[in-house]
Amino acid sequence: MVRIAVMGASGRMGQMLVQLVGESDLAVLGAAVERPGHGWVGQDLGVAAGGAALGLRVTDSVAQALEQSDAVIDFTAPGVSVALAEQAAAMGVAHVIGTTGFSDADLQAIARAAERGVIVRAGNMSLGVNLLVQLTAQVARALGMEYDIEIVEAHHRHKVDAPSGTALMLGEAAAEGRGQRLADVSERGRDGITGARQAGAIGFHAIRGGDIIGEHDVIFAGTGERITLRHVASDRSVFARGALRAAIWAQGQPPGEYSMAAVLGL
């Protein structure tokens, strides 16, 4: 049984993970972590979540949680995940990072931690999206520069970063398929007198509202025809299932930063 620490246990993804690990035959909950000062800290995890007691108290001590675990699953915030990457690597605990919204400096810090520890990081942990990433690269390669690429994503009203981590994964795949660097061609939203579209640009647009779990369209708009690749997540459990699969897969892997494509064998 792989012992799992859930970082951010009261969060939307954290609660989903606690439930999923509880149902798993391959994993067991080693620790549940919340930020210092959070109302759940010190309480029984099950009671805090409004259910029956689970016999596991929520902690704000990352060190203690890592001591009790083989892997930590982390859907929190960029600063939290960067600090945890270093600590988990030092303690030999595999780190599955679902958090999005990292800066380039954050990503460099995570890459440094992965020289010593096993890290699986993906802006989207679902099988469907990881397949869509591969299809996007393939379609972009086949269609070339004649087709304009626009990525439209929609999420719930609480999401704090844009474009979504998934939209960026799709943009990276599209750029790679056409032999471009995303940083050179990315256009974020449009407003006012923007002038005509730049040839070869990859556009990003973010819709925020209600309880939308996550929707992504990759539009290839040519002259006389348009192709749209679409993924719709209708249940957060797809991300949690992917993250748990990654935590189990990570056991015994050599240090490095891995993607979900590696975990899923795509």
Under the binding rule (CB under 6 A), the answer on residue 75 touching ligand NAD is yes
Question: Which of these is catalytic: 38, 95, 159, 231?
Answer: 159
Q: Which contiguous run of DSSP H or E holds residue 78?
A: helix 78-90
Query: Is 91 annotated as a binding-site member?
Result: no
Show the binding pattern over residues 50-69: x = contacts ligand NAD (CB under 6 A), - = does not. --------------------
- 159 classed as catalytic: yes
Cβ proximity to ligand NAD, 62 vs 118, nearer residue: 62
Backbone angles phi, psi at 228, to 5 degrees: -125, 125
Which tokens in the block code for residue 11? 């969060």
Count of helices and strands (H, E) across the chain: 10, 11
CA distance 135 to 157: 29
CB of residue 97 vs ligand NAD: minimum separation in angstroms? 8
Regarding beta strands 148-155 and 214-221, do their DSSP bridges make them parallel or antiparallel, or are they unpaired?
A: antiparallel
Cβ proximity to ligand NAD, 7 vs 66, nearer residue: 7
Under the binding rule (CB under 6 A), the answer on residue 177 touching ligand NAD is no
Query: Is 10 annotated as a binding-site member?
Result: yes
Task: Count the neighbouring beta carbons within 10 Å of the beta carbon of residue 204.
Answer: 23
Show the binding pattern over residues 220-239: x = contacts ligand NAD (CB under 6 A), - = does not. -------------------x
Under the binding rule (CB under 6 A), the answer on residue 212 touching ligand NAD is no
- 155 classed as catalytic: yes
The C-alpha angle 153, 158, 162, rounded to 5 degrees, equals: 40
Query: What residues does 57 pair with on adjacent strands?
Result: 44
Query: What residues does 53 pair with on adjacent strands?
Result: none
Candidate list 2, 4, 5, 7; residue touching ligand NAD; CB under 6 A: 7
Under the binding rule (CB under 6 A), the answer on residue 98 touching ligand NAD is yes
Under the binding rule (CB under 6 A), the answer on residue 99 touching ligand NAD is yes
Candidate list 100, 130, 136, 186; residue touching ligand NAD; CB under 6 A: 100
CA distance 110 to 259: 13
Under the binding rule (CB under 6 A), the answer on residue 208 touching ligand NAD is no
Q: How far is CA 7 from the centre of its chain?
A: 14
Q: What residues have CB less than 8 Å from 123, skipping those under 6 apart?
A: 100, 164, 165, 166, 168, 169
Greatest Cα-to-Cα distance within the chain, rounded to the nearest angstrom: 62
CB of residue 150 vs ligand NAD: minimum separation in angstroms? 21
List, as residue ranges, the binding site for NAD(+). 8-13, 34, 98-100, 122-125
**Catalytic residue numbers, as ranges:** 155, 159
Interaction site with ligand NAD (CB under 6 A): 7-8, 10-14, 33-35, 38, 75-77, 80, 98-101, 122-125, 165, 239
